């Protein structure tokens, strides 16, 4: 069995690559970072160090690596004969992966089973986004002819993989916990052979529970931690102010998740408490800068703050803690982060109304509008 995986970064090596390797796939990593791909191509193996209770070292071998920027032709050939294609590149990068997949579908022998595509990004329906980009890349007529050569299944992936130490080489330090949930419908009864993945009929409750609990909570700790002057996530969570607001934020999103998806409130309470314990893991060298990265993506309409807050506001339910977290996000000032710089520019050049409508997708008249307008104005003063 062969899997092509785009994005040989933290989650690519420390989670998707490991799980596919353990499932018996030969993994072909594709990435645009030349030093990383060169190092992978020259290596026989790398080690995933799980830190925390019960953590152990896991060795990944039997992989190959290709540069998708300079050797796109070989990458397309590999995809054309692969069983599985996964990505962990970031949701905004999927459109750059799509032309490779489109070309691979042209080359894929018609007698092969459909390529099983799973985009492992922190975004709702990331595989559908990739599918739409592939269709756009092929154009309507060609897509109609080739679409049956691939199936696209949405997924929810959960494992904290921090940025790695400069001297770590290819090895990756990760937490022990992991969860990979995949929607089963698109596979039509022939799900990929991945024992560590869980296949479910309806992914919506899983991806929303993950994004609006793990990622909302994580980003809250990152932005409030940044404001309070912390560098590490585990230190930020030891700060009472940060912990108090993070706890309230997770109570707010839990109210929505319980109401919307019929989750058991006690199970959800245990889930969010476990998540706070995961963030507090002192052996995990995770930073507020990594977790807060790309604040404009995180502040966008369907993401971890505005997504749940908009739904709560429409139901007349409390959103004050989420709004406090958004307030902190507006103060994330990291010159190395392009979106942080862009956010600062927006705040300096646009009216509060334009920021709320443009960056957060909330229009005048929405029940969340006035509280967001107020905090944007506050961040500008």
Ligand X SMILES: NC(=O)c1ccc[n+]([C@@H]2O[C@H](COP(=O)([O-])OP(=O)(O)OC[C@H]3O[C@@H](n4cnc5c(N)ncnc54)[C@H](O)[C@@H]3O)[C@@H](O)[C@H]2O)c1
Ligand Y SMILES: O=P(O)(O)OC[C@@H](O)[C@@H](O)[C@H](O)[C@H](O)CO
Give the binding-site size for ligand Y (rule: CB under 6 A). Answer: 10
CA atoms within 13 A on the CB side of 270: 4
Sign of CA dihedral 7, 9, 11, 13: positive
Judged by CB under 6 A, which stretch of 68-76, 99-107, 245-253, 290-298 contacts ligand Y? 290-298
Sign of CA dihedral 28, 37, 182, 57: positive
Three-point CA angle 28, 31, 32, nearest 5°: 150
Taking CB under 6 A as the rule, which mask of x and - marks residues 293-312 in contact with ligand Y? xx------------------
What is the rounded CA–CA span in Å between residue 116 and residue 60? 22
Q: Which of residues 148-167 bind ligand X (CB under 6 A)?
A: 157, 159-161
Q: How does DSSP assign 56-116, residue by residue?
A: -EEEEESEEEEETTT-HHHHHHHHHT-SEEEE-S-GGGHHHHHHHHHHHHHHS-TTSPPEE
Identify the bridge partners of residue 45 per DSSP, sorted by sequence position.
61
238-247 as b/e: b if 16+ CB within 10 A: ebeebbebbe
Is 215 annotated to bind a ligand? Reply is: no
* Smallest gap from residue 160 Cβ to ligand X (A): 5
Q: What tokens does 229 get?
A: 């002057």
CA-based nearest residue to 235, from 293, 274, 286, 275: 286
Q: Which does 75 bind (CB under 5 to 8 A by kind): ligand X, ligand Y, none?
A: none
Q: Which of 291, 299, 312, 313 binds ligand Y (CB under 6 A)?
A: 291
Q: Which of 3, 11, 310, 355 binds ligand X (CB under 6 A)?
A: 11
Judged by CB under 6 A, which stretch of 43-51, 165-173, 211-219, 370-378 contacts ligand Y? 211-219
Is 21 annotated to bind a ligand? Reply is: no
* Smallest gap from residue 28 Cβ to ligand X (A): 12
Q: Which does 218 bind (CB under 5 to 8 A by kind): ligand Y, ligand X, none?
A: ligand Y
CA-based nearest residue to 251, from 199, 312, 198, 292: 312
Q: Which does 214 bind (CB under 5 to 8 A by kind): ligand X, ligand Y, none?
A: ligand Y
Q: Which is nearer to ligand X, 99 or 318 (CB)?
A: 99
Q: Which of residues 147-166 bind ligand Y (CB under 6 A)?
A: 158-160
CA atoms within 13 A on the CB side of 53: 4
CA-based nearest residue to 20, from 157, 123, 150: 157
* Smallest gap from residue 113 Cβ to ligand Y (A): 30
Q: Which of residues 84-113 bind ligand X (CB under 6 A)?
A: 88-91, 93, 96-97
Q: How does DSSP assign 199-244, residue by residue?
A: EES--HHHHHHIIIIIIHHHHHHHHHHHHTT--BHHHHHHSHHHHH
Judged by CB under 6 A, which stretch of 184-192, 252-260, 288-296, 305-313 contacts ligand Y? 288-296
Is 8 annotated to bind a ligand? Reply is: yes
332 binds ligand X (CB under 6 A): no
CA-based nearest residue to 274, from 180, 195, 160: 160
* Smallest gap from residue 215 Cβ to ligand Y (A): 5
* Smallest gap from residue 352 Cβ to ligand Y (A): 25
Q: Which does 308 bind (CB under 5 to 8 A by kind): ligand X, ligand Y, none?
A: none
Q: Which does 17 bind (CB under 5 to 8 A by kind): ligand Y, ligand X, none?
A: none
Q: What are the binding residues for NAD(+)? A: 3-14
Q: Would you list which residues are annotated within the binding site? A: 3-14
The site for ligand X (CB under 6 A) is made up of 6-12, 30-33, 36, 68, 88-91, 93, 96-97, 121-122, 157, 159-161
Residues in the site for ligand Y, rule: CB under 6 A?
122, 158-160, 214-215, 218, 291, 293-294
């Amino acid at each position: 069995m062969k899997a092509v995986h785009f994005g040989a970064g933290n989650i690519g090596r420390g989670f998707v690559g490991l799980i596919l390797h353990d499932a018996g796939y030969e993994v072909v990593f594709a990435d645009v970072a030349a030093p990383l791909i060169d190092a992978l191509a020259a290596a026989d193996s790398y080690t995933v160090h799980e830190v925390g209770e019960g953590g152990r070292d896991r060795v990944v071998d039997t992989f190959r690596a290709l540069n998708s920027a300079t050797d796109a032709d070989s990458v397309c050939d590999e995809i054309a004969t692969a069983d599985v294609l996964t990505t962990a590149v970031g949701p905004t990068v999927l459109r750059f992966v799509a032309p490779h997949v489109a070309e691979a579908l042209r080359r894929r022998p018609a007698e092969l089973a459909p390529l099983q595509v799973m985009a492992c990004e922190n975004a709702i329906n990331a595989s559908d986004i990739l599918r739409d980009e592939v269709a756009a890349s092929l154009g309507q007529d060609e897509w109609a002819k080739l679409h049956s050569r691939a199936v696209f299944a949405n997924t929810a992936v959960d494992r904290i993989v921090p940025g790695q130490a400069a001297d770590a080489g290819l090895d990756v330090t990760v937490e022990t916990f992991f969860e990979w949930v995949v929607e089963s419908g698109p596979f039509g009864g022939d799900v990929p052979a991945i024992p560590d993945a869980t296949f479910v009929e309806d992914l919506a409750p899983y991806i929303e529970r993950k994004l609006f609990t793990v990622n909302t909570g994580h980003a809250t700790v990152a932005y409030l931690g940044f404001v309070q002057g912390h560098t590490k996530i585990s230190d930020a969570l030891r700060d009472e102010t940060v912990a108090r607001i993070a706890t309230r934020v997770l109570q707010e999103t839990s109210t929505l998740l319980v109401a919307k998806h019929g989750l058991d409130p006690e199970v959800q309470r245990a889930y969010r408490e476990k998540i706070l314990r995961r963030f507090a893991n002192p052996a995990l060298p995770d930073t507020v800068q990594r977790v807060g990265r790309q604040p404009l993506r995180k502040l966008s309409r369907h993401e971890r703050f505005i997504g749940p807050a908009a739904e709560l506001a429409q139901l007349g339910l409390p959103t004050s803690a989420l709004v406090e977290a958004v307030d902190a996000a507006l103060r994330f000032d990291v010159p190395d982060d392009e979106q942080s710089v862009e956010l600062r520019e927006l705040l300096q050049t646009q009216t509060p109304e334009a920021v709320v409508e443009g960056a957060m997708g909330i229009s005048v008249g929405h029940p969340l509008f006035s509280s967001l307008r107020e905090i944007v104005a506050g961040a500008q003063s």
